[in-house]
Amino acid sequence: MEKRLAKTLAIAAAILLIWGAIVGADYRRVCHGFERPIFAIYKTTADDGGSGVYKGLGYFFVIKGNFMPEDEYPGVTHSDFYLFGRHIKKTIRD
């Protein structure tokens, strides 16, 4: 019985670790690199090719930016990060 519990806890810890790595990668990419997320999928986008809402498992981003080829400074200009529905961070690129 104890082996089964230990195995279950190890699997749960591995899943939590992988999920944290996915959230961390998207967070770094959007909030620090000012690029679109890798793992989150867009749900609502604007006509500029990238602004909108990107949703992942338990988190989402609201992104505004310059994504058209003719834009002088392409990438994310404004983003809001939400974790489990709570606003965590707002970033603005100068």
pLDDT (tens digit per residue) in 1-31: 799 999 999 999 999 999 999 999 999 999 9
Interior angle at CA 21, CA 16 and CA 25, nearest 5: 150
In the chain, the DSSP E strands lie at 41-45, 52-55, 59-66, 75-83, 86-92
Task: Give the range of the structural domain holding residue 87, as residue numbers without chain letter.
Answer: 2-92
pTM of the model: 0.86
- Give the amino acid at 74: P
Interior angle at CA 3, CA 19 and CA 9, nearest 5: 20
Per the listing, tokens 């770094």 go with: 28
- Domain count of the chain? 1
- Give the amino acid at 35: E
pLDDT (tens digit per residue) in 35-77: 999 999 998 777 777 789 999 999 999 999 888 878 778 889 9
Q: In what order do the strands lie in the sheet with 59-66?
A: 41-45, 52-55, 59-66, 75-83, 86-92
